[in-house]
């Protein structure tokens, strides 16, 4: 049994502590924005924010997540209007979309600790893999999100269809 906070809600998972956080999020909490990619933590498709740090959820067990605060793509912004999400749309940095949640989470974690990252900062913090090749647009995207967060560029309200809330399990 693991008790943690997921998207600001206290959650108790009645699963073995060795179960990867990824599967608890996807299969039990129905937070399917976190994707399975490689299973080794290298691709970044399963990236979530754990206590302020971007971490692959496929290599973090529920036991290791005990007592920690987890933010998934669903919890980043209730209206899907976070500066990083706005910048991804504005810069057209989305292709198939499979890796996008992980990229957004890694970028949000970076910008939470450094709102004005250099290209080198972005290169070292964003290690996610995108098979569609959006990496060249990521620097522009993350720099634009930083400008939005710093108030140097207005954010855009991105219309999103209503979704139901996920019950705490």
The pLDDT of residue 164 is above 50: no
Per-residue pLDDT reduced to its tens digit, 24-70:
999 999 999 999 999 999 999 999 999 999 999 999 999 999 999 99
Nearest to 66, CA basis, from 7, 8, 18: 18
Domain 2-76: CATH architecture, name and number where available: Roll (3.10)
Q: What is the mean pLDDT of the chain?
A: 91
- Predicted pLDDT at 135: 83
For 83-150, which CATH class? Answer: mainly alpha
The torsion angles phi and psi of 120, rounded to 5 degrees, stand at -65, -40
Q: Taking 80 as the threshold, does the pLDDT of residue 159 lie above it?
A: no
139, two tokens: 């620097």
Domain coordinates of the chain in residue numbers?
2-76, 83-150
In tens, the pLDDT along 120-143 reads: 999 999 999 988 888 889 999 999
Per-residue pLDDT, averaged over 88-101, amounts to: 92
State the Cα–Cα distance between residues 110 and 100, nearest whole angstrom: 15
Q: Who has greater pLDDT, 159 or 131?
A: 131
Task: Measure Cα distances from 52 to 47, 48, 115, 165 in Å.
Answer: 12, 9, 14, 23
Where is mean pLDDT largest: 71-80, 130-139, 156-165? Answer: 71-80
């Amino acid at each position: 049994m693991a008790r943690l906070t997921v998207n600001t809600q206290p959650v108790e998972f009645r699963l073995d502590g060795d179960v990867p956080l990824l599967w608890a999020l996807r299969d039990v909490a129905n937070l399917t924005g976190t994707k399975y990619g490689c299973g080794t933590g290298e691709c970044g498709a399963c990236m979530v924010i754990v206590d302020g740090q971007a971490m692959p959820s496929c290599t973090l067990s529920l036991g290791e997540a005990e007592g920690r605060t987890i933010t998934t793509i669903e919890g980043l912004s209730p209206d899907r209007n976070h500066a990083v999400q706005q910048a991804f749309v504005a810069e057209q940095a989305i292709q198939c979309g499979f890796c996008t949640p992980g990229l957004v989470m890694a970028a949000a974690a970076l910008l939470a600790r450094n709102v004005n990252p250099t290209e080198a900062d972005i290169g070292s913090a964003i290690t996610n893999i995108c098979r569609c090749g959006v990496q060249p647009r990521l620097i522009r995207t993350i720099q634009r999100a930083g400008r939005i967060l710093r108030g140097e560029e207005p954010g855009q309200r991105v219309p999103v269809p209503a979704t139901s809330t996920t019950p705490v399990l």
